[in-house]
Amino acid sequence: MTCRSSLVPFLAGAVVATVVWFAAGLAHDSTPHVSADVGAPVQEAIVLEQTAAAVAANLAPVPDDGKLRIICFGAHPDDCELRAAGVAAKWAGQGHHVKFVSLTNGDIGHWQMAGGPLAQRRTAEVERCAEILGIESQVLDIHDGELLPTLENRRTITRLIREWDADIVMCHRPNDYHPDHRNAGLLIQDAAYMVIVPFFCPDVPPLSKNPVFLYYEDRFQKPNPFSADIVVSIDDVLEKKLACTEALESQFYEGGCCSGTTELPQTPEERTARQQQVEDGFRRRFARTADRFREELAEWYGEAAEDVGSAEAFEICEYGRQPSKDELRELFPFFGDD
Ligand SMILES: [Zn+2]
């Protein structure tokens, strides 16, 4: 991982912030409403000290350019790309800021290779996807298949969300088939409140506004099926998303960890045929989302929903900010453009 914090500023920030709170004679009860009871000079002092803590932690300043900031977490280096590359490309196309984070390095995700070389290869693959989409990408150095909902990982994710100053956070639901996906969902849920609690990871300033947390589409039914609260046409960026699936060569062209593939195409003809097979499969997959949520699409696109060929869908997590439909249209400024 490349979290920009270190132990020294962590401790320095904690001490400085604690002094400010105690100087103000305030009881801290970890509720999100504490700041509303704080007088303006004290609030100003807290902001100044938190800014100092951020500077001490060597954080790059977040540009205040009025653009949206979205951070998407996936368990492996391909999960964000498969589930949110379309909306990422749409946001990036409007100048909004998107970051994909893989919580593991993907180092067991191949039937023929593993370990450091595979982790490096998969990191390069998602970096290529980020170039295609016009976004940022980060891969944490945690072993594939070993992601756990630890306090250390909760802190890491809390810091990443704060450092990105996120308006929207995305992740898997915590009832997914893969233990890494489930634990990723749990970790993001665990961070959903802590990102606004000042003295949790006080080396990075808390967010002043709780982000909207969203889940990726899946087909798991228990304990409850996915609810498509927002469905976006990705027809205008489909080729970019397909270019990402092609760039994720180790996973799809070569078959990933257990697709049954045991040999690679040898001739140019075989390679072309394999590429076409992968692309056709993904075209069908992204079209299935549009077909599955045709009624929900109509809520956003009206009659034009009938013409949507491919889509991405997201569910609102009940933790984090609960957006109105109008706010969702501001956060997803795409409807009416398609
Ligand atoms: Zn995965």
pLDDT in tens, 125-170: 999 999 999 999 999 999 999 999 999 999 999 999 999 999 999 9
Helix %, strand %, coil % for the chain, to 5?
A: 45, 10, 40
Q: From ligand 1's centre to the CA of 65, what distance in Å?
A: 33
CB 83 within 8 A of CB 181: no
Q: What pLDDT shows up at residue 42?
A: 55
Q: What pLDDT shows up at residue 20?
A: 38
**176-197 average pLDDT score:** 98
Q: What pLDDT shows up at residue 12?
A: 42
Q: What pLDDT shows up at residue 44?
A: 60
CB 133 within 8 A of CB 240: yes
Arch. (CATH architecture) of 69-232+314-331: 3-Layer(aba) Sandwich (3.40)
Least confident range of 45-59, 146-160, 290-304: 45-59
Q: What pLDDT shows up at residue 47?
A: 53
For residue 263, name the pLDDT band (cuts at 50, 70, 90). confident
Residue 51 has pLDDT above 60, yes or no: no
**H-helix or E-strand containing 153?**
helix 151-164
Q: What pLDDT shows up at residue 58?
A: 53
Q: From ligand 1's centre to the CA of 82, what distance in Å?
A: 9
Full-model pTM: 0.83
- Beta-carbon neighbours within 5 Å of ion ligand 1: 75-76, 79
For residue 60, name the pLDDT band (cuts at 50, 70, 90). low
Tokens of 317: 């997590």
Q: What pLDDT shows up at residue 333?
A: 97
Q: From ligand 1's centre to the CA of 80, what distance in Å?
A: 9
Q: What pLDDT shows up at residue 13?
A: 43
Q: From ligand 1's centre to the CA of 163, what distance in Å?
A: 24
Q: From ligand 1's centre to the CA of 323, what distance in Å?
A: 27
* E strands present in 173-271: 212-216, 230-233
Q: What pLDDT shows up at residue 49?
A: 58
Q: From ligand 1's centre to the CA of 76, what distance in Å?
A: 4
Q: From ligand 1's centre to the CA of 74, what distance in Å?
A: 7
For residue 261, name the pLDDT band (cuts at 50, 70, 90). confident
- Calculate the average pLDDT of the chain: 87
For residue 50, name the pLDDT band (cuts at 50, 70, 90). low
Q: From ligand 1's centre to the CA of 316, what distance in Å?
A: 20
Q: From ligand 1's centre to the CA of 224, what distance in Å?
A: 20
State percent of the chain over pLDDT 70.
Answer: 81
Q: From ligand 1's centre to the CA of 110, what distance in Å?
A: 12
Q: From ligand 1's centre to the CA of 336, what distance in Å?
A: 32
Q: What pLDDT shows up at residue 34?
A: 36
Q: What pLDDT shows up at residue 241?
A: 98
Enumerate residues 6+ apart whose C-beta is below 8 A from 44: none
CA pair distance 255, 274, nearest whole angstrom = 10
Least confident range of 22-36, 44-58, 122-136, 246-260: 22-36
Residue 45 has pLDDT above 70, yes or no: no
Q: What are the residue boundaries of the structural domains of the chain, listed by start?
A: 7-56, 69-232+314-331
**186-197 average pLDDT score:** 98
Q: What pLDDT shows up at residue 304?
A: 96
State the DSSP code for 307.
G
Task: Indicate the Cα dihedral angle 110, 116, 119, 123, nearest 10°.
Answer: -140
Q: From ligand 1's centre to the CA of 167, what distance in Å?
A: 24
Q: From ligand 1's centre to the CA of 166, what distance in Å?
A: 22
CA pair distance 133, 130, nearest whole angstrom = 5
Residue 224 has pLDDT above 70, yes or no: yes
Identify the residue with better confidence: 310 or 31.
Answer: 310
Residue 7 has pLDDT above 70, yes or no: no
Q: From ligand 1's centre to the CA of 39, what distance in Å?
A: 46
Q: From ligand 1's centre to the CA of 122, what distance in Å?
A: 12
Q: From ligand 1's centre to the CA of 280, what distance in Å?
A: 21
CA pair distance 103, 122, nearest whole angstrom = 13
